Amino acid sequence: MSDRHATDVTRAAIAEMAASLPMHDQQDVDDATRGFIARSAQRQITTEDGRPVWDLDAYEFMRGTEAAPTANPSLWRQGQLLIEDGLFEVVPGIYQLRGFDLSVMSVIEGDTGVIVIDPLISAEAAAAAFALYTEHRGERPVTAMIYTHSHADHFGGVKGIISDEQVAAGEVEVIAPEGFLHHAIAENVFAGTAMLRRAGYMYGAALERGPAGQIGAGLGQTTSTGTVSLIAPTVDITHTGQRMTIDGVEIEFQVTPGTEAPAEMNFYFPQHRALCTAENTSHTLHNILTIRGALVRDPHAWAHYLTETIDLWGDQLDVVFASHHWPTWGRERAVEFLAMQRDMYLYLHDQTLRMLNQGLTGPEIAEVLEMPPSLEAQWHTHGYYGSVSHNVKAVYQRYMGWYDANPANLWPHPPEAAATRYVAAMGGRDGALAVARQAWDDGDYRWCAEVGKHLVFADDNDAEARGILADALEQLGFGAENGTWRNAFLAGATELRSGAFGTPATTSPDLLTSLTVSQVFDSVAVRVDGPRAWDEHILIAWEILDEDLTYLTELRNGALHHRTVDNPSEGVTTFTLTRASLIGAVTGTLDLGAALEDGTVTIDGDPEALGRLVGLLAPVDPDFNIVTP
Ligand SMILES: [Zn+2]
């Protein structure tokens, strides 16, 4: 990697862009280091068996250095702020652990113990961060855990801090916005495998760190790769204005469903005059649609809730903090920060719709929409994580879908069929390669990547084609201000040069064990191999002991649907078991034969019905191709 270099064209583009950056504004440097108490002496975080989870020194090459020529200086600066790791005091009684993961963990001190907010992605990372807190602030029992929203970087590390037993014994409340558990799990049921593979591109966890490699993801440096855990909430926050006092700490809540996450909330600590905005504000333009893939978010609702936040607490704030990045202190600055973030999402939404109603399509709007100079002059509105370009396309998609109404785009050939035709039209492989080379020489890396893509999809064994596509993607990565774009471009280049890196390893058994019965059947249904199942008709009843409900699953016409029934019809095979056993049977962690023998699972009817259904399920592929056909 180290011999990779930016071309003159890329350097010139970077220099031109850098000239417009508000380099005189150093406030973030003060804020990212303010209240610093200590760094952790434990710099390498691993699993129990020694697998690396997080390296606090991975980005030391960036500390105190000018941006490398192979990096956008704005993204470099963001990375430098994000590697200010350690324990920080926000205000007396409120502390943050930063730099231990993609996200930030906050600790609120109560009369006898502490409230922990958002325990990172991995149990190992959360435990290491909390150990630093304990080392400097003393051993205090955890009295409550708050999840601000339903994304894994805000709950996955929970078991590094508290246990199921403590929650069951009533020692710790687990507080989350209503709908948290459903959404935390649902995101993983339908498209989880593909999202994780794509997340490897977006966060660059498998990429080499270095000036010509991974330098961050804008929201945090990257994702930790330890054990993702989950403990279900014991308290739902259902409405704005809801209040709680925990261990002497007063909290007022604002629910913000359908913003950055489907279940999310902001909350205010009146005794500290401090506001936690979850992930509704951050020091970046966030995603309306993340490039790992997701349902499109609603920037209109997002902006509306931020207005409500300002109305609720704007006149009584001393500091606003969140679960990524550093806080903003001072009432005026904090309110202006909230208002700027609000304006940013609203402007993107409204201006995309203005142009959409003038007939422009997503890619066209993305190319011409400019943010107001007053917003561009703020660092926190820059697109380190979301980008104006892909957010505009997301707004278009939210209202219009994938189709731009031009019927020439209604039924085009798919990528491989199109590629062979494009390559032929350019005079065959050598002609197309000449076009790609010309684009490279002209510094038009977007066109070079487009032609290179067709060459590789026409023949993925063509080493020269793979090489020039990788080179073009790499230059696009070097120039990108957006961390997720840089990671995606460099991930593509890496896989073209040295083969697929697959999905970076994580384990998350708790997500599976939290599935509802209905989600279990949904997750099975999306694995049915349609054509092989066309002619099958399989009925199975499932008496779920701990829910006192009987479900009927029916496969017909290749579709597996389920519903609850009072009594399954005569002759239908019926399994009687708990929800946990059902999950075990589906995920392969329960030995069904042994369970039938010891009576954990009982069966009435022909057991072959299940064997036939299981035989129709297709495996998922966590290593599917992306930059090659
Ligand atoms: Zn997050």
Query: Cα of 149 to ligand 1 centre, how many Å?
Result: 8
What element of type H or E holds 563? strand 559-565
State in Å: Cα 396 to ligand 1 middle: 24
Output the CA 307–ligand 1 centroid distance in Å.
Answer: 21
pLDDT of residue 88: 98
Q: What separation in Å is there between the alpha carbon of 161 and the centre of ligand 1?
A: 18
CA distance 228 to 320: 28
Distance CA 468, CA 7 (A): 14
pLDDT in tens, 315-367: 999 999 999 999 999 999 999 999 999 999 999 999 999 999 999 999 999 99
Over residues 57-77, the mean pLDDT reads 97
- SS3 call for 429: helix
CA of 150 to the centre of ligand 1 (A): 9
- How sure is the predictor about 622, in pLDDT bands with cuts at 50, 70 and 90? very high
pLDDT higher than 50, residue 1 = no
279: left (phi over 0), alpha (psi -120 to 50) or beta: alpha
Q: Within a 10 A sphere around the Cβ of 136, how many other Cβ atoms? A: 12
- How many angstroms is it from 318 CA to the middle of ligand 1? 23
- Distance in Å, CA 102 to ligand 1 centroid: 7
Q: Ligand 1 centre and the CA of 173: distance in Å?
A: 22
Q: How confident is the model at residue 568 (pLDDT cuts 50, 70, 90)?
A: confident
Euclidean distance between CA atoms 461 and 181, whole angstroms: 45
Question: How remote is the CA of residue 156 from the centroid of ligand 1, in Å?
Answer: 11
Q: How far is the CA of 48 from the centre of ligand 1 (A)?
A: 25
Determine the Cα–Cα distance for residues 322 and 96; give it in Å rounded to an integer.
Answer: 10
Q: Are strands 52-55 and 44-46 parallel, antiparallel or unpaired?
A: antiparallel
- Whose tokens are 């804020």? That residue is 31
Distance 217 CA to ligand 1 centre (A): 12
Taking residues 250-267, report their average pLDDT: 97
Residue 570: predicted pLDDT: 86
Res. 228 pLDDT band, cuts 50 70 90: very high
CA of 154 to the centre of ligand 1 (A): 6
Give the pTM: 0.96
Residue 268 has pLDDT above 50, yes or no: yes
User: Predicted confidence band at 508 (pLDDT cuts at 50, 70, 90)?
Assistant: confident
Residue with tokens 């007939």: 359
Strand order in the sheet with 265-269: 243-246, 249-255, 265-269, 274-276, 319-321, 328-329
3-state secondary structure of 98: strand
pLDDT of residue 331: 98
Helix (H, G, I), strand (E, B) or coil at 328: strand
Cα distance between residue 576 and residue 601, in whole Å: 6
Q: Cα(323) to centroid of ligand 1, in Å?
A: 7
Proportion of the chain above pLDDT 90, given as a percent: 93
Q: How far is the CA of 94 from the centre of ligand 1 (A)?
A: 19
